[in-house]
Amino acid sequence: MRITGWSGGLAVAGLLLAGCGGGPGGGGKISDGGVVLAVLNDQSGIYADTSGRLTIEAVRMAVEDYRARYGDKAVAQKIDVVAADHQNKPEIANSKAQELYDREHADVILDVPTSSAALAVATVARNKKKVFIDVGAASTELEGKSCNKYTFHYGYNSYMLAHGTGSEVTKDGGTSWYIVYPDYAFGQDMERTFSAAIKAAGGAVVESDPTPFPNDNFSTFLLKAPGLDPKPQVLGTMHAGGDLVNLVKQYNEYKLRDKGVQLALGLLALSDIHSLGPDALAGTRYTTMWTWSMDDQTRAWADKFQARNGKRPTSNMAANYSAALQYLEAVQRAGTDNSDKVVEQLEGHTFEDMFVRNGTIRAQDHLLLHDAYLSQVKPSSEVKEPWDYEKVIRTIPAAEAFQPQPDPACKL
């Protein structure tokens, strides 16, 4: 009861504030007296580690770097970073997004993992005519049938993950595949892209099986793999998180690597390698959008991040840093935080930064095209320092990494 009353009071205060703050006198170029970056993500659920609270820190780092670069010349002098936890519930994402735009005067919402939540926020962005840069969600629907003028998809998507691994590993000689994928939208999309990429690269899919999701017993599929005709050279899986860890543990139990069945993954997070230990995955290939140990520039940023937060950044955090920075750069170029003007500046923009190499924001569907990387897990003998598990074996050029053509279903 007390909470209701209190929150109600807060809300009334918010209304009053909105009434006052929305009035004239803001100077015209920057609305509501400042630029507000809002991070809406999962701080308590399954994405709390890859995204979560430290992503907010990454965005704050972008704000600091922007200030350092432009100083007095910065168009946005007052910049606030606000955050909300959508608890992985799309309806909370939906209400919170409206609230962030309306009440907190957010000029842009960042991150938003969980596809259903991201798509819900995209609708809010369209209706409110405010910028939304999604980083955390993998669904290609964001640049497909749910695309809109104010929504951008930044970093990675399910196409990038599946296409990268499928075509690159096939080119390296792993031509016959057995695919297992979790039976839900993400897995189904990945499977389709995976198969197409393998075939296009000259390989063949021997068989492709959906697995229950979530699942903790993959024995059925692992037992089946070596007995298929012809025997597959590569086991391609599209699992993530706990399911992936289960699958890899069991893959090792059945000693499939010794039986000549290599493992190739769509998605692999740094934390997954850490939890399984590098030797359980050594040699496994997968596609990634970024890794902290990639080169000197990324290492420098990762060191700064670690000094501040005590941890190595995930690729998702780096991508949010970049998205925030590029948003502020667009405000700088536009000279205003007016959404339409900023969108104009972002569309077709070509750039590089700590996270993005050979980047272009495609004007037709607002998808960020940039280099992706085929990576491999190092054996523990090659691991020199904590969390240094990944080795980039090849850069997948921006033009090949993402969908070559915009989805015709997308009408901005």
Q: Which of 243, 329, 353, 365 binds another protein (CB under 8 A)?
A: 243
Q: Which residues contact 27 (CB under 8 A, 6 or more apart)?
A: 33
Piece of 265-273, 281-289, 295-303, 345-353 that binds another protein (CB under 8 A): 265-273
Smallest distance, Å, CB 75 to another protein?
27
Rounded distance between C-alpha atoms, residue 85 and residue 386, angstroms: 30
Nearest distance in Å: CB 143, another protein: 13
Residue 37 and residue 106 in contact, taking contact as beta carbons nearer than 8 Å:
yes
Q: Is 288 in the site for another protein (CB under 8 A)?
A: no
Query: Which residue lies nearer to another protein by CB, 114 or 170?
Result: 114
Q: What are phi and psi of 327, to 5 degrees?
A: -65, -45
By CB under 8 A, residue 317 contacts another protein:
no
**DSSP assignment letter at 237:** E
Interface residue with another protein among 77, 250, 309, 395 (CB under 8 A) is: 250
Residue 316 interacts with another protein (CB under 8 A)? no
Regarding 49 and contact with another protein (CB under 8 A), the answer is: yes
Smallest distance from the beta carbon of 36 to another protein, in angstroms?
13
360 lies in the binding site for another protein (CB under 8 A): no
d(CA 363, CA 267): 27
How many residues sit in the footprint of another protein (CB under 8 A)? Answer: 79
State the minimum distance, in angstroms, from the CB of residue 161 to another protein: 16
Told to check if 206 binds another protein by CB under 8 A, we report no
| Helix, strand, coil share (%) of the chain residues, nearest 5 | 45, 20, 35
**Residue 40 or 346: which CB sits closer to another protein?**
40
Candidates 72, 98, 140, 51; CA nearest to 323 is 51
Residue 68 engages another protein in binding (rule: CB under 8 A): no
Site for another protein in 87-146 (CB under 8 A): 87-92, 94-96, 98-99, 103, 114-116, 119-120, 123, 127, 139, 141, 146
Does residue 393 touch another protein according to CB under 8 A?
no
Sign, CA dihedral 384-54-247-289, equals negative
- Label the pairing between strands 359-361 and 350-351: antiparallel
State how far Cα 169 lies from the chain centre.
22
Which candidate, 164, 291, 135, places its Cα nearest to that of 238? Answer: 164
